[in-house]
Amino acid sequence: MVLGSGTSNGVPTLGKPYPATYLADPRNFRTRAALALLGPAGNVLVDCGPDMRSQLLREGIVDVEGVFITHTHADHVMGMDDLRSFCLKYKRSVPVYTSPDYQEDIRRIFSYAFREYPPGIWVPRLELLPVEPHHRLAGLEIKTFWLEHGPIPVLGLRVNDFAYLTDVSAIPDNVWPCLSGLETLVLDAVRLEPHPNHFHLESALSTAQKIGAKETYLTHLCDDYDHSVTNASLPSGIELAFDGLRVEL
């Protein structure tokens, strides 16, 4: 499930006026990019941005088995404090899978979560774990690979015939075989104009066509996109994602 389909500042963007027609479409309200993998034995989050709490409440998701962090930009990690509700619920740390560099960022950003406190003080307890090429989690077989987000790496994931590529500007040669035979692809297309660290609409469309999934949903969208207007102009098999979009795994 796409928890959030929006770019880093969310849509609508604070401080900007929008026409009533734009605001009339609930699909133009995009929270920060995140995904929930709803497995047969629990749920796994991909990213934990500032909207995580409201996203889980909105979708009625009450269990989280673990979290993959694709990279540590603010729009992907700033909801991690709210993971403490799950620490309280399960009386254990939440497993968080990311690269060693991003683990270091998380230790710095949420340094209080790694200190000792007297009993009764609750902070998020995060068990920082490495990303393996293959994870079995919540009853799901999750394959991982690293993509390029401008100058930094970003984690991509595949579950069965579904793949999620957020915050991506280039797909390294060794990753292409991991993207063959996809039924559904969710792919970054941040805006209409080219961007140094993201696919924009044109590069996302050509990449989607090259990957050749049966269905592609574009995500991490800014307010350049008016949902129904843009969708009407996209090639068949390619649509904009929206908050709450559900795809069968």
Contact residues toward Zn ion (CB under 5 A) are 8, 75, 167
In angstroms, give the least distance from the CB of 222 to Zn ion: 11
Cα separation, 218 vs 115, in Å, equals: 40
Residue with smaller CB distance to Zn ion, 149 or 158: 149
- Residue number with CB closer to Zn ion (33 or 140): 33
For 194, which DSSP code?
-
β-bridge pairing 140-149 and 2-4: unpaired
Tell me how far, at minimum, the Cβ of 5 lies from Zn ion, in Å.
Answer: 11
Q: From the CB of 94, what's the least distance to Zn ion, in Å?
A: 21
Contact between 122 and 86 (Cβ < 8 Å): no
Q: Which CB atom, from 51 or from 65, has the smaller least distance to Zn ion?
A: 51
CA–CA distance from 219 to each of 105, 109, 242 (Å)? 25, 26, 8
Sign of the torsion angle spanned by Cα atoms 158, 161, 162, 163: positive
Nearer to Zn ion, 75 or 223 (CB): 75
Residue 49: CB minimum distance to Zn ion, A: 8
